[in-house]
């Protein structure tokens, strides 16, 4: 019996192998016979294609591949086609010229298992529901007027963080930067969405939330074999989907609790509704699209996770680079002392005058983009780019990290040099999606909805931390570890821990009532 089972298994395995080889050959033959030329790229393996070639740091691997195969590169990923854009011109071709053709997301395990089966804003198809989610988010949380309305929330929550850091300095305790930032940002977002600080004290609960956010961003960034070979997705060979399902349950419990508590306190907010109140009151648009409770829960998941993790990772990278380059930190201090002085905290109205701080932020966006590979898109129709044929249903990845490290685009790209943005051709480059040399938030219709908020948070929080404290590495740490940990958001592999010393008058560290 055992030998028979073994024989059947081998026959089934051989049949599956032959099936995929046949499909691959027929697909390739069709492209050749039609006279259409695919972009160059690595050949990959039978059946699974280029998946094993990507390794643990796909953004680095793909950047190295682009040096050999060019700015538009084709990879066979299991049974799917994928193209990678690796230069500003190639990114512009896909995200601007062909934007409407690449406005949808491909189906994947992250959308299914984490984002309530793509019921959110990040993974939803381009259409009426996505537009409604995006409109409500822009009008009442992420857009310019909304950001102005909630400025006091950011100021007050930052006051809590500064006070805690001030107390740590008096006790000679090191500050673990990502924990501190995630705690503060989750509370900022919580006050806008729910009219409450979601974590009253920094402790086990807030650290668990941070760990959950990092796990979500990490697992959603994996190249999951089941996404590219759907017929074997049920096997979950990497264990990614089972982990996603467990994490989703934890988030769902947290979000359900938040929404129930919010509903119970609705009577307190009649004079000043928060974001969730507004969304609940405007769940339907003029074309009859109505948001379900699942849509709203999925939207909150987007806002809490992306809103905390992406901005905090950028700030952590910026502080790390300044600790490695003390002259940059010193120059930032000098600018702030001249513009603001040391008798008060930095205010958001000071930011336009802090030209060097803005250059530091742009240089961090360039060298350490929070999203190294843009969230994947998929072609609705076949098209042509740079003379190459791009089939229908081809997945698109833009290597934002690779563009930022390209020596043909940037002089000495591995150096952290904010001066590159102060004069010359780069002086007017802006990270909001129009200058394709610097697109940390993506570009086109599916540009990150929180672009404006992300830039404000990074400039304001980073500026406040730099202005308020002198920063020093722990005793004995001479070479700061700058290794990356790949995910949807590019984390530091070793979290930044540092000692701070107050630079301002003691009254600047008092929490506002």
Domain regions of the chain by residue span? 98-393+401-509
Is 12 a residue whose pLDDT tops 60?
A: no
Contact status, residue 140 vs residue 276, Cβ threshold 8 Å: no
User: In terms of C-beta distances under 8 Å and separation of at least 24 residues, what long-range contacts does 328-332 make, across chains too?
Assistant: 328/360, 328/416, 328/418, 329/466, 329/471, 331/356, 332/356, 332/357, 332/360, 332/466
Question: What is the model's pLDDT at position 13?
Answer: 46
pLDDT confidence bin for 35, thresholds 50/70/90: low
Mean pLDDT, residues 127-155: 94
Mean pLDDT, residues 105-128: 94
Mean pLDDT, residues 44-65: 95
Q: SS3 string of 322-335?
A: HHHCHHHHHHHHHH
Question: What is the model's pLDDT at position 488?
Answer: 82
Closest C-alpha among 498, 167, 512, 500 to residue 347: 512
Is 214 a residue whose pLDDT tops 60?
A: yes
Binding residues for heme: 448
* Parallel, antiparallel or unpaired: strands 388-390 and 383-385: antiparallel
Binding residues: 448
Q: Which region among 273-287, 335-349, 498-512 has the lowest average model confidence (pLDDT)? A: 273-287
Question: What is the model's pLDDT at position 30?
Answer: 45
Mean pLDDT, residues 157-180: 94
Instruction: Give percent of the chain above pLDDT 70.
Output: 93
pLDDT tens, position by position, 331-346: 999 999 999 999 999 9
Beta-ladder partners of 45 = 49
pLDDT tens, position by position, 428-476: 999 999 999 999 999 999 999 999 999 999 999 999 999 999 999 988 7
Is 484 a residue whose pLDDT tops 80?
A: yes
Question: What is the model's pLDDT at position 391?
Answer: 98
pLDDT confidence bin for 497, thresholds 50/70/90: very high
Is 245 a residue whose pLDDT tops 80?
A: yes
Mean pLDDT, residues 286-291: 82
Q: Say if domain 98-393+401-509 classifies as CATH 3.40.640.10.
A: no
Question: What is the model's pLDDT at position 489?
Answer: 84
Mean pLDDT, residues 119-129: 94
pLDDT confidence bin for 11, thresholds 50/70/90: very low
Contact status, residue 319 vs residue 462, Cβ threshold 8 Å: yes
3-class secondary structure, 291 = coil
Q: Which region among 217-221, 325-329, 338-342, 451-455 has the lowest average model confidence (pLDDT)? A: 217-221
Beta-ladder partners of 72 = 85
Mean pLDDT, residues 28-47: 76
pLDDT tens, position by position, 369-399: 999 999 999 999 999 999 999 999 999 999 9
Beta-ladder partners of 378 = 104, 395
Is 328 a residue whose pLDDT tops 70?
A: yes
Q: What is the DSSP string of 190-215?
A: HHHHHSS-S-SSSSHHHHHHHHHHHH
Q: Which region among 28-32, 211-215, 321-325, 376-380 has the lowest average model confidence (pLDDT)? A: 28-32
Question: What is the model's pLDDT at position 29?
Answer: 46
Mean pLDDT, residues 411-418: 98
Question: What is the model's pLDDT at position 8?
Answer: 38
Mean pLDDT, residues 232-248: 93
Instruction: Give percent of the chain above pLDDT 90.
Output: 79
The whole-angstrom separation of Cα 98 and Cα 232 is: 32
* Mean pLDDT (the chain, rounded): 90
The whole-angstrom separation of Cα 263 and Cα 253 is: 16
This prediction's pTM: 0.91
| Sheet containing 377-378, strands listed edge to edge, beginning at the edge strand earlier in sequence | 72-77, 80-85, 395-398, 377-378
Closest C-alpha among 309, 300, 269 to residue 193: 300
Backbone phi, psi, residue 440, to 5°:
-60, -20
pLDDT confidence bin for 34, thresholds 50/70/90: low
User: In terms of C-beta distances under 8 Å and separation of at least 24 residues, what long-range contacts does 350-358 make, across chains too?
Assistant: 350/463, 351/459, 351/460, 351/463, 354/459, 354/463, 355/422, 356/331, 356/332, 356/418, 356/422, 357/332, 357/459, 357/462, 357/463, 357/466, 358/421, 358/459
pLDDT confidence bin for 513, thresholds 50/70/90: low
Mean pLDDT, residues 278-299: 89
Q: How far is C-alpha 480 from the chain's CA centre?
A: 24
Is 22 a residue whose pLDDT tops 50?
A: no
Q: What is the DSSP string of 395-414?
A: EEEEBHHHHHT-TTTSSSTT
Backbone phi, psi, residue 31, to 5°:
-65, -40
User: In terms of C-beta distances under 8 Å and separation of at least 24 residues, what long-range contacts does 104-107 make, across chains too?
Assistant: 104/377, 104/378, 104/380, 105/375, 105/376, 105/377, 105/378, 105/446, 106/80, 106/227, 106/376, 106/377, 106/378, 106/393, 106/395, 107/227
Q: Which region among 12-16, 53-57, 338-342, 507-511 has the lowest average model confidence (pLDDT)? A: 12-16
Mean pLDDT, residues 87-116: 96
Cβ neighbors of 371 (< 8 A, separation 6 or more) are 310, 400, 440, 441, 442, 448, 488, 489, 490
More confident: 11 or 60: 60
The H-or-E segment that residue 378 falls in is strand 377-378
Question: What is the model's pLDDT at position 219?
Answer: 87
């Amino acid at each position: 019996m055992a030998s028979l089972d073994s024989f059947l298994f081998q026959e089934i395995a051989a049949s599956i192998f032959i099936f995929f080889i046949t499909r691959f050959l027929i697909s390739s033959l069709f492209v050749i016979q039609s006279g259409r030329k695919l972009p160059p790229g690595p050949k990959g393996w039978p059946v699974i294609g280029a998946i094993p070639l990507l390794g643990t740091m796909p953004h680095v691997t793909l950047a190295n591949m682009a040096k050999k195969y060019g700015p538009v590169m084709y990879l066979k990923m299991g049974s799917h086609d994928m193209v990678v854009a690796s230069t500003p011109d190639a990114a512009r071709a896909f995200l601007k010229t062909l934007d409407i053709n690449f406005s949808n997301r491909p189906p994947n395990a992250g959308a299914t298992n984490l984002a309530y089966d793509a019921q959110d804003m990040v993974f939803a198809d381009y259409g009426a529901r996505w537009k409604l989610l995006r409109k409500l988010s822009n009008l009442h949380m992420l857009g310019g007027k909304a950001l102005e309305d909630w400025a006091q929330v950011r100021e007050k929550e930052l006051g809590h963080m500064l006070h805690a850091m001030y107390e740590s300095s008096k006790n000679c305790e090191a500050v673990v930067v990502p924990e501190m930032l995630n705690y503060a940002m989750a509370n900022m977002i919580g006050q806008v969405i729910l009219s409450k600080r979601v974590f009253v004290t920094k402790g086990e609960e807030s650290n668990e939330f941070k760990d959950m956010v990092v796990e979500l961003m990490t697992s959603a960034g994996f190249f999951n074999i089941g996404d590219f070979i759907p017929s074997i997705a049920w096997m979950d060979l990497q264990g990614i989907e089972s982990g996603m399902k467990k994490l989703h349950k934890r988030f769902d419990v947290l979000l359900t609790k938040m929404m129930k508590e919010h509903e119970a306190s609705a009577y307190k907010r009649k004079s000043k509704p928060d974001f969730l109140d507004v969304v609940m009151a405007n769940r339907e648009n003029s074309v009859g699209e109505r948001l379900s409770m699942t849509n709203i829960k999925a939207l909150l998941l987007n806002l809490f996770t992306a809103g905390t993790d992406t901005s905090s990772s950028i700030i952590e990278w910026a502080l790390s680079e300044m600790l490695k380059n003390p002259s940059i930190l010193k120059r930032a201090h000098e600018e702030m002392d001249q513009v603001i002085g040391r008798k008060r905290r930095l205010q958001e109205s000071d930011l336009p005058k802090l030209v060097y701080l803005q250059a530091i932020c742009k240089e961090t966006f360039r060298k350490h983009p929070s999203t190294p590979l843009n969230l994947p898109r998929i072609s609705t129709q076949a098209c042509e780019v740079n003379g190459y044929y791009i089939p229908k249903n081809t997945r698109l990845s833009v290597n934002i990290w690779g563009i930022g490290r390209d020596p043909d685009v940037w002089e000495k790209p591995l150096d952290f040099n904010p001066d590159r943005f102060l004069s010359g051709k780069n002086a007017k480059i802006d990270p909001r999606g129009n200058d394709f040399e610097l697109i940390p938030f993506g570009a086109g219709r599916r540009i990150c909805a929180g672009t404006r908020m992300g830039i404000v948070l990074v400039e304001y929080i980073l500026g406040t931390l730099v202005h308020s404290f002198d920063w020093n590495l722990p005793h004995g740490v001479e070479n700061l570890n700058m290794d990356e940990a790949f995910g949807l958001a590019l984390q530091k592999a070793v979290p930044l821990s540092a000692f701070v010393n107050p630079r301002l008058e003691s009254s600047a560290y008092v929490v506002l009532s």
